[in-house]
Amino acid sequence: MTKGSLVKMKTNCDDTDIFHSVTMTEDVSWQEGYKVGLSEGNKKGFLEGYGLGAIKGIELGAEVGFYTGYAASVLNKHSSSESRIAKVCEAILDLGKDFLNLDPTSEELSLNLSKIKGKFKQLTSLLGIHIEYNSTETNTDKIITF
């Protein structure tokens, strides 16, 4: 029975139907249970989702922070004469800034990250050094390569 029809019944029969509350017990408790369950579920789901979001956010933030921090320090040490290196560093920093303003659910996020990664690879190639971002604390699967 739906809520609308319940209300309708009440107005029609007023309080004369003494069996009403008895016959409706199951329905009423089902509805109450549903409400309580839904709000509990919402809370739990929110906590779980929030936790997952926070973990993923930390992972992504740490990675982007690593790239931009690296680029900033390289940019600091390099004179403007080596223009290509400086340009790549600036590009990484700009992309890093953009990253902060992106909607986390947007596709742009992974696009932006792949651009930063590409620029970072270019930077390490220009500098002639081997360095890779490894998230050692989380997700150990990621660093297994073959």
Q: Catalog residues that contact other proteins under the rule CB under 8 A.
A: 84, 87, 91, 114-115, 117-119, 121-122, 124-126, 130, 145
Query: To 10 degrees, what angle do helices 20-77 and 3-13 make?
Result: 150
Select 8 or 121, whichever has its Cβ closest to other proteins: 121
Helices (H), 78-107: 83-100
Shortest approach of other proteins to residue 52 CB, angstroms? 24
Shortest approach of other proteins to residue 46 CB, angstroms? 33
CB contact at 8 A, 104 and 66: no
Shortest approach of other proteins to residue 121 CB, angstroms? 5
Select 91 or 93, whichever has its Cβ closest to other proteins: 91
Residue of 59, 57, 85 whose CA lies nearest to 72:
85
Rounded Cα–Cα distance for residues 52 and 50 (Å): 5
Shortest approach of other proteins to residue 109 CB, angstroms? 14
Select 125 or 134, whichever has its Cβ closest to other proteins: 125
Q: What is the DSSP string of 34-48?
A: HHHHHHHHHHHHHHH
* SS3 state of residue 15: coil
What is the token pair recorded at 106? 């947007």
Shortest approach of other proteins to residue 106 CB, angstroms? 17
Select 106 or 125, whichever has its Cβ closest to other proteins: 125
What is the token pair recorded at 118? 């590409």
Select 125 or 140, whichever has its Cβ closest to other proteins: 125
